Amino acid sequence: MLHTVSQISLGASSEWSKAQSGGRFSTPIGDLLLVAHAQGLSGAWFVNQCHFAPKLPADMVQQFLAQDAAQSSDPILQTTVNWLRCYFVSGHEVTLPALPPLYLLGTPFQQAVWQELLRVPYGQTISYAQLTAQVVQRLQLPPSYKGYRGVAQAVGHNPVSILVPCHRIIGSNGKLTGYAGGLERKEFLLHLEGAW
């Protein structure tokens, strides 16, 4: 099942200081910091993950961590909380609601990688090599392009964990490899989806 996305907007990294709302949301595998701009959800990081809210101003991080996303009146956060609740109680047979509007802030290359992540269906995995081939096709790069590291870096800097499913990317040998939220979380998410 592919994710249904109501809207994807793309923006520059400099837009982080314009976030309008945020809050902490508890999941079975740790708290997430959710951040929304007027255009859509722009951040969903595990509180102790690598690359945690790297460009969000520190005062906003502290302000948003002190707020409960489940109590927010922001419609983007409400939709996100509903989606995450459905995701974590769903099990292997699932029909998830549409994702909230997404506002993905990063370089054009990162955005291309993140858009390809959204194409990986629930309950399935692809390798970094397969993802790289899809990015090469999307960006019309030469077929000889071997930018695995650039793709892996963009995956690792995905600002919207779980909803933009970077956890579905595995090594070419079929093994679990890097996940900014930690391999235990990646394994949990893939197990939840019946992909591991």
First to last CA, the chain: 16
**Hey, what amino acid is at 61?**
V
The predicted pLDDT at position 143 comes to 73
For the chain, state the CA radius of gyration: 16
Confidence of residue 13 (pLDDT cuts 50, 70, 90): low
CATH code: domain of residue 178: 1.10.10.10
Identify the domain containing residue 159 by its residue range. 107-192
pLDDT digits (tens, 9 = 90+) for 22-62: 999 999 999 999 999 999 999 999 998 988 998 899 999 99
Say how far apart CA 159 and CA 163 lie, in whole Å. Answer: 10
Mean pLDDT over 71-98 rounds to 89
Look at residues 48, 73, 102 and tell me which one is the last residue of a structural domain: 102
pLDDT digits (tens, 9 = 90+) for 73-82: 999 999 999 9
The predicted pLDDT at position 10 comes to 66
Say how far apart CA 130 and CA 56 lie, in whole Å. Answer: 31
Say how far apart CA 22 and CA 1 lie, in whole Å. Answer: 28
The predicted pLDDT at position 196 comes to 86
Active-site annotation, residues = 166
Give the chain's domain count. Answer: 2
User: What rounded mean pLDDT belongs to the chain?
Assistant: 90
In a domain, 1, yes or no: no
Look at residues 37, 68, 102 and tell me which one is the last residue of a structural domain: 102
**What is the percent of the chain with per-residue pLDDT over 70, rounded to a whole number?**
91
Give one DSSP letter per residue of 22-35, joined into a string.
Answer: EEEEEETTEEEEEE
Q: Which DSSP symbol is given to 46?
A: E
Confidence of residue 92 (pLDDT cuts 50, 70, 90): low
Are 144 and 90 found together in one domain?
no
